[in-house]
Homo-oligomer: A and B are copies of this chain.
Amino acid sequence: MQSFQPPRRILMGPGPSDVSPRVLAALARPTIGHLDPQFQALMEEIKAALQRLFNAPDHACVPLPAPGTAGMEAAMMNLLEPGDRCVVAVNGAFGGRMADMAGRAGATVVTVDHEWGQPVDPARVEAALAEAPTKVLAFVHAETSTGARSDAASLCALARKHGALSVVDCVTSLGGIVVDAAAWDADVIYSGTQKCLSAPPGLSPIALSKQAQAAIAGRKEKVRNWLLDFNLLMSYWGGEGGRTYHHTAPINALYGLHESLVVLFEEGVQAAIVRHARMHEALAAGVEAAGLKLLVDEKHRLPQLNTVLVPEGVDEAAVRTHVLEAWDLELGAGLGPLKGKVWRIGLMGASATPWHVRLCLTALCEALAAQGVTVDAKAVIAAADAKLR
């Protein structure tokens, strides 16, 4: 058994995205104790930074000590008790996962199913909410499995109107498109670190409104989860009145998240969002110049997750293998009903640069040519470059 030296990889799949040298360096700083006064100060800075990033000044924000899925699980397990009704909008893999978790929490689950690639339809969600009193409405803001963006503001407003708490999955959206907990009046909103924040996977930032906190404090039964029980977590992460030992925080991973937030605020959140939009426009122009099509309608596309349809007769996996072997470039495959039918191209965080767009298009053209598809690579790059000027 020998030390592991990872190969060079350019990460343009659905996450993780490229992690910047600054964040990698932060990970390697010496570990200190999780009850150290200086670590407590770091925790307070991270909490404040997450409030700023989610635009959630009145929410309680913490980074959960596990991957993005932990945010989803924490939301469902803490808000739902046996017998509660939960409406889940499903328009991809992650909506389906939310419904599964709601069932494990003991809830009566009603799904509003959509074709993959479509945004969530507020009218159909409202019809489901109107049928019976509902505790939670859950949906995915940015469906990583399809690249579709849903209208979080409208859906959160519907939840409030019908007396339900909203749960918003922002794993792929945070840092790449506008996420605004206060404007949306969202109750529970969570993300991951390995998408547009460009930190390694392993943490799940989450924000809880006062209504969500009250619902959790007023539960009849214990949460069906100890590690993610907010009644316990908040006394560990709560600043005032000292901290109660709960778990041991993943110290070095939190160094990485902290540095990724420093990097993001140095650029400016709004500037980062504009950058994601520009890189998407360039990639989409190149993809279309190559004769390829995107799955999602233009007005619902996520800039950070581009779902490209595999042309007739092209071997989807062979293209990914080609770009990995020839260019050290990772692209994503399709999930579920989209398996073998799409590539998922991420432009997230540190992977959303002109260099990445140009490299990806170059590699993709080469791989398509190897499959006998005629592509004018020069025209493809020129189409992208026209958007990058």
Binding site for B on A (CB under 8 A): 1-9, 11, 13, 15-16, 18-19, 22, 24-36, 38-39, 42, 45, 49, 65-70, 72-73, 77, 97, 100-101, 103-105, 192, 194, 200-202, 222-227, 245-253, 255-256, 258-259, 261-262, 265, 330, 335
Contacts and interface: CB of A to CB of B under 8 A. Distances in A.
Contacts of A35: 13
Interface residues of A: mostly helix, strand, loop or mixed?
loop
Given A227-B70, A247-B67, A6 B32 contact: yes
B226 A73 contact: yes
For the complex of A and B, the 10 pairs showing the least CB-CB separation, nearest first, are A202-B250, A28-B28, A66-B66, A200-B252, A201-B248, A224-B224, A19-B31, A24-B28, A27-B27, A9-B32
Contact of A225 (B1, B42, B224): B224
Nearest to A226: B101
**How many monomers of this protein are in the complex?**
2
A33 B65 contact: no
B250 A4 contact: no
A1 B192 contact: no
A251 B16 contact: yes
Contacts of A224: 104-105, 224-225
B4 A31 contact: no
A13 B25 contact: no
A227 B104 CA distance: 11
Contacts of A251: 16, 200-202
B30 A201 contact: no
A19 B200 CA distance: 19
B223 A104 contact: yes
